[in-house]
Every structure is written in structure tokens, then in C-alpha cells.
Amino acid sequence: MGKPLFQIQDLHVSVEGKEIVKGLNLVVGRGEVHAVMGPNASGKSTLANAIMGHPRYQVTKGKVLFKGEDVTALTPDERARRGLFLAFQYPRAIPGVTMVNFLRSALRAVRGSDVPVREFRTILRETMTMLKIDEDFARRYINDGFSGGEMKRAEVLQMGILKPDMSILDETDSGLDIDALRTVAEGINSLMSEERGMMVITHYQRILDYVQPGFVHVLFDGRIIKSGGPELAHELEAEGYERITGASVAGEVAS
């Protein structure tokens, strides 16, 4: 094929008329894990939502290519059915809809065909065991009354069941204690393969000890201002964002 798995070209995203992402370029090849790190308000969540096609995040310029196809105008469900996945920072509760029904509907939608009950149960059981998730979890309503940690596990559970080719993980480490983080990270790692790609969006370096990226990018004020290898994450951890972003740019954040 030769085409990269996932590509962002000169992406500009506005929310309610305000430009947040201001010309972002990024290429994720098959088998690659990229970390996008940035301080608060740098545009991390806007980027994640825009990639998945949230209707409130308007792409004013540029495009998102997935497996060579321009997906910028597609609805979120169309993107998901092509193998794109977003693990949410703040997953939504849907009272009255059980996880098990949701997961089965999602898998059916992504596959484009019905999933035999027995097969689904096997997949569900295996993925839940891997993520150390209790069995009655499946009977609870989607994210309804979940703790922060449960929500993140539920996100990775969905990822494990849908097996997307390209996953965007938006602050999946937040709200997790160290044991939970390790379990979740193991789940994420087990889903990585030569064929797949991942983008780990995070504020802190913590998760990157477990999910090790080959590429690290620093996002600031809607652009990637620096890219490098894993050492860049450690540099950020040791010295903070300010040294890389520069004092004058930091001033913009405050304004």
C-alpha cells in the first residue's frame, strides 16, 4: 500500500467560532505508537474530538486521512466502522442501557453483521478477564455511577472488543491509581500490533512508562511545536512544559 495508516494534514479546528487547533500535521504508520503531550488548554481534547468527528468541533481547514481515505466529512459512526476509535477522557453515562447490550450493538455495527451470542460472550469474557473487570460490570448501565477508574477500564474494554486499527486515547491515565494504570496499560499493549496504530494523548508522562511510544509530540496552542523520540517525554517530565513552549508562548495561555 505505502500509504500511512493515519494522517493529519494542516488541520484547523474551531469550537463555537474560536480556533483551537491551528494547522496540525501528524503521521502515524502501522505498528507505531505516538504520544501527543501538552499542557492544559493546548488543544488535546479538541484534537481527539475532531479526529472522531464530534459535530461541535468544526474542521475549517485541512483533513484527516485514514487508510488513505479522507474521513473528514464522515459521521463518527462511519469513522468507527472503518476502524477508528477514541477512548474518551470523559465518557458519557447512558442510563438504562446495559454495557453488554451496548458492546454487542457496537460490535455488530463495526463488523457490519450480527455477532453470534456464544462468540460474543467468549470475546466479552476474555477481554474482561484481561482487564480484571468483574462479571456483573456487563450488566451495569453505560458509565452510570462508574468511578473514574471504572470508566477508563470500560473505555479500554470497548477498545478490546472492537479491536480498532487506529486508537486515540484521550487522557486514559487520568483518574487511575497505579495498579489500575498498569492493568489498563497491559490491555492497551495487548491490542497493539504490526498492523495497528495508536495515539496516546496525555498531560503526564506517567502512562508512557507502560505504553511506550516510539514518537513523542508536544502540542501547544493548537500546533505541534516539537517532535522527537521517547526521550522527549522524559525531558518534559524533568523540566516541565515551559522550557519547550517558551515564556512568551506561556503568556498566551494566561491571556
Partner 1 sequence: MTDRKATEMMPDSYKWGFHDEARYVFRTERGLSRKVVEEIAGIKEEPQWMRDMRLRALEIFERKSMPNWGPDLSAVNLNDLYYYARASDRPERDWNEVPDYIRSTFDRLGIPEAERKFLAGVGAQYDSETVYHNIREELAKQGVIFADTDTAVREYPDLVRRYFGTVVPPADNKFSALNSAVWSGGSFIYVPEGVHVDIPLQAYFRINAENIGQFERTLIIAEPGSFIHYIEGCTAPIYTTNSLHAAVVEVIVKKGARVRYSTVQNWSTNVYNLVTKRSVAYEDAVVEWVDGNLGSKVTMKYPAVYLMEPGAHSEVLSLSFAGRGQHQDTGAKAVHVAPHTTSVITSKSISKDGGRASYRGLVKAYSGAKGIRSSVRCDALLLDGDSRSDTYPTMEIDERDVTVSHEASVSKVSEEQLFYLQSRGIDEQEATKMIVNGFVEPIVKELPMEYAVELNRLIELQLEGAIG
First and final CA of the chain: distance in angstroms?
A: 46
Q: What letter does residue 208 receive in the DSSP assignment?
A: G
User: Rounded to the nearest whole angstrom, what is the least distance from the CB of residue 154 to partner 1 in the complex?
Assistant: 11
Task: Choose which of 38, 39, 43, 91 interacts with partner 1 (CB under 8 A).
Answer: 91
Does residue 73 interact with partner 1 by CB under 8 A? no
Residue burial 139-154, b: 16+ Cβ < 10 Å; e: rest: ebbbbeebeebbbbbb
Of residues 139-178, which lie at the interface with partner 1 (CB under 8 A)? 141-142, 158, 162
Task: Choose which of 4, 23, 76, 175 interacts with partner 1 (CB under 8 A).
Answer: 76
Per-residue cell: 122 = 467468549
Point out which span in 33-41, 81-89, 116-124, 129-137 binds partner 1 (CB under 8 A).
81-89
CB closer to partner 1, 128 vs 208: 128
Does residue 120 interact with partner 1 by CB under 8 A? no
Does residue 241 interact with partner 1 by CB under 8 A? no
Phi/psi of residue 149, each to 5°? Answer: -65, -40
Region of 148 on the Ramachandran plot (φ > 0 left; ψ -120 to 50 alpha; else beta): alpha
Cα 241 to Cα 56: distance, rounded to the nearest angstrom? 29
Binding track, positions 93-112, relative to partner 1; x by CB under 8 A: -xxxx---xx--xx--xx--
Per-residue cell: 123 = 470475546
Task: Choose which of 1, 18, 92, 254 interacts with partner 1 (CB under 8 A).
Answer: 92
Bridge partner residues of 226 (DSSP): 218
Does residue 80 interact with partner 1 by CB under 8 A? yes
Residue 216 three-state SS:
strand
- Applying CB under 8 A, which residues contact partner 1? 49, 52-56, 75-77, 79-81, 85-86, 88, 91-92, 94-97, 101-102, 105-106, 109-110, 141-142, 158, 162
